[in-house]
Amino acid sequence: MDENTLVIILVEPQLGQNIGAVARAMLNFGLTDLRLVRPRDGWPNPEAIPLSAGAEKILENAQVCPSTLAAISDLNRIFATSSRIPDMIKSIYAPNPALQRLASTAQQGEKVGVLFGGERCGLCNEDISLCEALIKIPSKPDFPSLNLAHAVALIAYEWFVHASSYPTQIFRTGRTCLATREDLGNLFSHLEEELDRTGFLRHQKKRANMIRNIRNIFQRARLTEQEVRTLRGIIRSLTGESQDMKKTGVM
């Protein structure tokens, strides 16, 4: 397997120097696909070039995205890095087993990536909810936050180690393929629209947490494109049935 298959996504990175150092770490371990979500100081940033130390091509080809969802929309499997544990149901891995899983997945032709938060406060819960699982780098409990480039280097190293290993598990999808984040995003929008219409999400104070919990259920399921189409068909069917029952006065 070509090791150049892991996508690195930086969400709201602040310092150009750190982005340059990230590019250097990526190239050290054979990675070239860098995506930036709303970099604080805009892009391109000349301050990134000196610390890239020869990895300027990665900076030149970096994709700038307006949102996290846009940055991951073509990927099948996403893990997030965080030094804190959010109050939501997520699998949490150390870097070694996490990248072993991602490398095994990539060997089967799936597109994978790792999400990193900005230097000031890391990833928000909304971004974490878009990911399947968390990677927590072991560190001193009272000083857990790593420099952004250091964190990327640790993840890129683990990827490089596992990139040529044989898969320990095969996820067969038959004639379909795994849903992309765009497919799942469309499913979430469809479902949430109907839940709003029926009043299920009527409690505004609880609405954000309810939506995150619903999304996490589907994120853990690793749905295929066909399964997403089936679920959307079920939603349409239930919506039509509900409307028919209202018209006949049953409800």
User: So where are the chain's domains?
Assistant: 6-162, 181-247
> Could you give the percent of the chain with pLDDT greater than 90?
79
State residue 7 phi and psi, 5-degree precision: -95, 135
**Mean pLDDT on 166-183:** 81
Q: Average pLDDT in the 245-250 region?
A: 55
CA distance 47 to 45: 5
In which band, very low, low, confident or very high, does the pLDDT at 174 lie, cut at 50, 70 and 90? confident
Query: What is the overall mean pLDDT for the chain?
Result: 91
What single-letter DSSP state applies at residue 118? B
Residue 246 clears pLDDT 60, i.e. is over it: no
Residue with tokens 């030149």, as numbered in its chain: 60
List the one residue out of 151, 95, 157 whose CA is nearest residue 122: 151
Q: Give pLDDT, residue 172.
A: 78
- As given in the structure block, the two tokens for residue 119 are 């230097």
Please check the confidence at residue 201 and state whether its pLDDT lies above 90.
yes
Whether 230 has a pLDDT exceeding 50, the answer reads yes
Burial of residue 249 (CB within 10 Å: 0-12, 13-18, 19+) is exposed
- In this predicted structure, which of 71-80, 153-162, 165-174, 201-210 has the lowest mean pLDDT? 165-174
Entry field: residues in the chain: 251
* Predicted confidence (pLDDT) per residue in 48-57, tens digit: 999 999 999 9
pLDDT at 4 over 60: no
Residue 120, pLDDT score? 85
**What is residue 7's predicted lDDT score, i.e. its pLDDT?**
98
41-61 mean pLDDT: 96
The CATH architecture that domain 6-162 belongs to is: 3-Layer(aba) Sandwich (3.40)
Decide if pLDDT at 150 tops 70: yes
In this prediction the pTM is 0.77
Task: Give CATH for domain 181-247.
Answer: 1.10.8
Reference 56, options 44, 69, 71; nearest CA is 44
**Radius of gyration from C-alpha coordinates of the chain:** 20
